[in-house]
Amino acid sequence: MTALQASGESAWALWQKVKNEGPLIQCITNFVSMDFMANTLLAAGASPAMAHCKDEVQDFQKIASALLVNVGTLSPDWTEGMRLAAEAANALGKPWVLDPVGAGATPFRTQTIMSLVNLRPTVIRGNASEIMAVAGAAGKTKGVDSTAEPTHALEHAKQLAKDLGCIVAISGATDLVTDGERVAKVSNGVPLLTRITAAGCSVTALIAAFVCCASRDALLATAHALAIFGVAAEVAGDVRGPASLRVELLDNLYSMDETTVRSRVNIQWDC
Amino acid sequence: MTALQASGESAWALWQKVKNEGPLIQCITNFVSMDFMANTLLAAGASPAMAHCKDEVQDFQKIASALLVNVGTLSPDWTEGMRLAAEAANALGKPWVLDPVGAGATPFRTQTIMSLVNLRPTVIRGNASEIMAVAGAAGKTKGVDSTAEPTHALEHAKQLAKDLGCIVAISGATDLVTDGERVAKVSNGVPLLTRITAAGCSVTALIAAFVCCASRDALLATAHALAIFGVAAEVAGDVRGPASLRVELLDNLYSMDETTVRSRVNIQWDC
Amino acid sequence: MTALQASGESAWALWQKVKNEGPLIQCITNFVSMDFMANTLLAAGASPAMAHCKDEVQDFQKIASALLVNVGTLSPDWTEGMRLAAEAANALGKPWVLDPVGAGATPFRTQTIMSLVNLRPTVIRGNASEIMAVAGAAGKTKGVDSTAEPTHALEHAKQLAKDLGCIVAISGATDLVTDGERVAKVSNGVPLLTRITAAGCSVTALIAAFVCCASRDALLATAHALAIFGVAAEVAGDVRGPASLRVELLDNLYSMDETTVRSRVNIQWDC
């Protein structure tokens, strides 16, 4: 109970830092999510820069605070931009977050994702199927939607986090976030989020914004971003359908007050 | 009158099948429509996979139930992915649907579309101008909007359907769907749909979902998808403008009940 | 006061012309803005054609009334299409509008933008940072958001307009539009617009639609488009957040009446 309250407080505190700093997040993401991701960052107080071209991603990373790489609508010309941007982030000591969309779905996709994983992202966020595929576990991916449960992927996620020295987040009804030792369980959000495209993509961009504004704990910052995004969906209440939820979610990310965040953020520790 | 009621029933029955099976639809579509198309499929109970790269479209087609090809924001590197995906769908015996956006607008576009038509799609859906251009008829295209009426294109559509052994759907105030012999007239939808981008694109993706879940009649499945999408727009009622219609349409695709569908689906036969 | 009222009248008159003619605007724009831009044009009564490929942009320009070039998610293969389309517009005597997104952010971007500026667009619209970068002034760009005020960029904009013989518009709380001599100040819009992605992109497409329907004064047409877009945001009133504003804005672009436009358009002359 204490941990829960503390999390609500620290989530709000970190979010205020994001709003005050308005970090520029370079996003190399799929075509489907660009609009919603940019609007998510803007609503939450950060600033998006959707630039993907190998001729400028390194220069953009110099003025950005963090990097988001999402492989959704992958093609080789974009992979090169992703690689250069990730290397620039590493060289500049800036955090970068990887969203391994559809890992396991095709050999081309899995290989490309693994080459990015080897560049050691600060955070990897995916659904259970994707995280299992990245961890080299046998699993079954149905396109970009998961057929596995987060708890099944947890041990794989912990090993992956240890091997890479990164944070791994598994999205689901309850999100699991681990650094290989600790596990934070984030129980915010609503089931209807699975009927909106780009929700997972966009929360991953929010993770990038939170991690770069956090002075130290990337695990906690990741959990906070997931919780805030989930709360924004929760307070939408009884919406008529997914399109209304989408509108409400962005409006809430813009307007939610401290009381709402503190009372609703639901993060618990597994250890 | 009997046919109309029967259509409402069968439309609902097929839609339930779509919702139960949740078919994965591989969509190779234009940049404009990706977000709305993915959200349309999700709202209606199907699952989208927006993958276009020649390095993985064949592998994706193995795990998908159907394919949607839309040539909106065409370029040669995408054409190759479209071709490989269509050939994979054919080889695997899976249905694929072609949306020949802007056929007739430029020689490059028309030639590319004809090379895809020659791969024998299961269904072709376009506006009257586009269908006439695909059928080789003299017509005038104004960008992606039609300057011709569906009835003008019907004979061309019938011939095209016969020649290719496919279904051809002409969108308009009343949609016409033909297999070369039978003609179904779908009178659902609202005029304001023409002021929303990607509505035609998205209903074509829905056609792919319905056709792959139909055990036999692709003509009927196509008419059902067009009708359901149109009804979702109708029940939005007196909206303030196109953006509200878009929100309502997706919400309705998610939440419409059997009574609404059965009472509103308006499909009639011309023969 | 007289000038203000006259502007409300002339803004409405030009908008009616746009609605009657329904001009086809070829848009070569970034991936983020495509959906919102196309919907903006449709809501306002114009017709979008999102085509970017070098193999067809010249043919598309033949059937289009104007061209919009936005360099947001830039890459070399798109640059070639932009160049060919701009040259075609020039050869055909059709207006084209340049949105130099992120000018100054990276050398690659600035160089590409300057090569397009040298093709002499009819109108250039950007924020203060971008206009200063295009004018060769020292400035600081933070991604795609401006860190400078329009008034700081005005002298640079005037010189740029004189040198190129074009219209330059600087977006901000008050937009400034100049032909090098005259300066129109457009004071419509709401602060929340800065929390929506693609608002600036989309109003630039609207400028293209207004300019091609104006018989003579491109400066006035530009100011009118900026004002109408701003009024559509204003009458949204007290929305809950940016996503609601977006919906309202498009609905208002579709449904605003003459009284609203005439009473709210706020254009004043600086000379």
Q: What are the chain C neighbours of B240 within 8 Å (beta carbons)?
A: 251, 254-255
Is B247 in Cβ contact with C248 (below 8 Å)?
no
Which two tokens mark C50? 């999102």
Cα dist from B47 to A195, B20, B220, C52, whole Å: 9, 11, 21, 29
Token pair 């358009």: residue: C265
User: How close B35 comes to chain C (CA, Å)?
Assistant: 8
Using CA coordinates, name the residue in chain C closest to A46. C195
Helix H or strand E encompassing C145? strand C145-146
User: How close A70 comes to chain C (CA, Å)?
Assistant: 15
- pLDDT class of A7 with cuts at 50, 70, 90: confident
> Of A222-226, B1-5, B48-52, C75-79, which gets the smallest average pLDDT?
B1-5
Residue type, C24: L
> Whose CA is closest to C200, among C160, C239, C143, C159?
C143
Q: How many domains does chain B have?
A: 1
Is C243 in Cβ contact with A246 (below 8 Å)?
yes
Q: What are the chain C neighbours of B243 within 8 Å (beta carbons)?
A: 39, 43, 246-251, 254
Which two tokens mark C16? 């009616």
Flag whether residue C111 sits within 8 Å of chain A, measured between CB atoms.
Answer: no
CA distance A87 to A69: 12
CA distance B41 to B231: 16
Is B196 in Cβ contact with C39 (below 8 Å)?
yes
Using DSSP bridges, classify how beta strands B175-178 and B167-171 pair: parallel, antiparallel or unpaired: antiparallel
Q: What are the chain A neighbours of C198 within 8 Å (beta carbons)?
A: 35, 38
Flag whether residue B156 sits within 8 Å of chain A, measured between CB atoms.
Answer: no
Using CA coordinates, name the residue in chain A closest to B25. A143
Flag whether residue A31 sits within 8 Å of chain B, measured between CB atoms.
Answer: yes
Cα dist from A77 to A53, A73, A74, whole Å: 8, 11, 9
Predicted confidence (pLDDT) at residue C3 exceeds the cutoff of 80: no
Q: Is the torsion defined by CA of A182, A188, A194, A197 positive or negative?
A: negative
Contact C68/C203 with Cβ under 8 angstroms? no
Could you report the per-residue pLDDT of A234-244, keeping only the tens digit for each? 999 889 999 99
CA distance A141 to C22: 46
User: How close B38 comes to chain A (CA, Å)?
Assistant: 6
Is A247 in Cβ contact with C143 (below 8 Å)?
no
Q: What proportions of chain B, in percent to the nearest 5, are helix, strand and coil?
A: 55, 15, 30
Query: What is the structure's pLDDT at B133?
Result: 96
- Percentage of chain C modeled with pLDDT above 90: 89
Could you report the per-residue pLDDT of A114-149, keeping only the tens digit for each? 999 999 999 999 999 999 999 987 555 555 566 677
- pLDDT class of A5 with cuts at 50, 70, 90: very low
Cα dist from B104 to B68, B115, B145, C59, C192, whole Å: 20, 14, 11, 11, 41
pTM reported for the whole predicted model? 0.95
CA distance C217 to C68: 18
Query: What is the structure's pLDDT at C148?
Result: 75
SS (H, E, C) chain A: CHHHHHHHHHHHHHHHHHHHHCCEEEEECCCCCHHHHHHHHHHHCCEEECCCCCCCHHHHHHHCCEEEEECCCCCHHHHHHHHHHHHHHHHHCCCEEEECCCCCCCHHHHHHHHHHHCCCCCEEEEEHHHHHHHCCCCCCEECCEECCCHHHHHHHHHHHHHHHCCEEEEECCCEEEECCCCEEEECCCCHHHHHCCCHHHHHHHHHHHHHHHCCCCHHHHHHHHHHHHHHHHHCCCCCCCHHHHHHHHHHHHHHCCHHHHHHHCCEEECC
- Which are the contacts of A92, defined by CB distance < 8 A and separation ≥ 6? A61, A62
Is A51 in Cβ contact with C102 (below 8 Å)?
yes
Using CA coordinates, name the residue in chain A closest to B251. A241
Contact C26/C192 with Cβ under 8 angstroms? no
Higher local confidence (pLDDT), C271 or B179: B179
Could you report the per-residue pLDDT of A17-59, keeping only the tens digit for each? 999 999 999 999 999 999 999 999 999 999 999 999 999 999 9
- Residue C49 pairs with which residues in a beta bridge? C26
In this complex, the residue of A143, A242, A247 whose CB is nearest that of residue B49 is A143
How many residues in total does chain A contain?
271
Q: What are the chain B neighbours of A195 within 8 Å (beta carbons)?
A: 42-43, 254
Q: What are the chain C neighbours of A24 within 8 Å (beta carbons)?
A: 142-143
Flag whether residue A140 sits within 8 Å of chain B, measured between CB atoms.
Answer: no
- Residue B252 pairs with which residues in a beta bridge? none
Range 46-85 of C in CB contact (< 8 A) with A: 72-76
The secondary structure of C148-177 as a DSSP string is S-HHHHHHHHHHHHHHHTSEEEEESSSEEE
| A49 phi and psi angles, rounded to 5 deg | -135, 105
CA distance B91 to B80: 16
The pLDDT tens digits along chain B (271 residues) read 344 445 899 999 999 999 999 999 999 999 999 999 999 999 999 999 999 999 999 999 999 999 999 999 999 999 999 999 999 999 999 999 999 999 999 999 999 999 999 999 999 999 999 999 999 875 555 555 666 788 889 999 999 999 999 999 999 999 999 999 999 999 999 999 999 999 999 999 999 999 999 978 999 999 999 999 999 999 998 899 999 999 999 999 999 999 999 999 999 988 5
Contact C204/C97 with Cβ under 8 angstroms? yes
User: How close C108 comes to chain B (CA, Å)?
Assistant: 23
Flag whether residue B32 sits within 8 Å of chain C, measured between CB atoms.
Answer: yes
In a mutational test of the B interface, the residue from C245, C248, C250 whose CB has the highest number of chain B CBs within 10 Å is C250
User: If DSSP codes are grouped into helix, strand and coil, which group holds residue B97?
Assistant: strand
Could you report the per-residue pLDDT of C96-155, keeping only the tens digit for each? 999 999 999 999 999 999 999 999 999 999 999 999 999 987 555 555 566 677 888 999
CA distance C27 to C70: 8
Flag whether residue C17 sits within 8 Å of chain B, measured between CB atoms.
Answer: no
**CATH code at position B130:** 3.40.1190.20
CA distance B30 to B44: 20
Q: What are the chain C neighbours of B242 within 8 Å (beta carbons)?
A: 39, 42-43, 250-251, 254
* ipTM higher than the 0.85 cut: yes
Residue type, B242: P
CA distance B238 to A242: 20
> Whose CA is closest to A50, among C132, B26, B31, C25?
B31
User: How close A174 comes to chain B (CA, Å)?
Assistant: 21
CA distance C166 to C162: 7
User: How close A51 comes to chain C (CA, Å)?
Assistant: 5
User: How close C101 comes to chain A (CA, Å)?
Assistant: 10
Q: What proportions of chain C, in percent to the nearest 5, are helix, strand and coil?
A: 55, 15, 30
- Domain with C252, as residue range(s), is 2-269
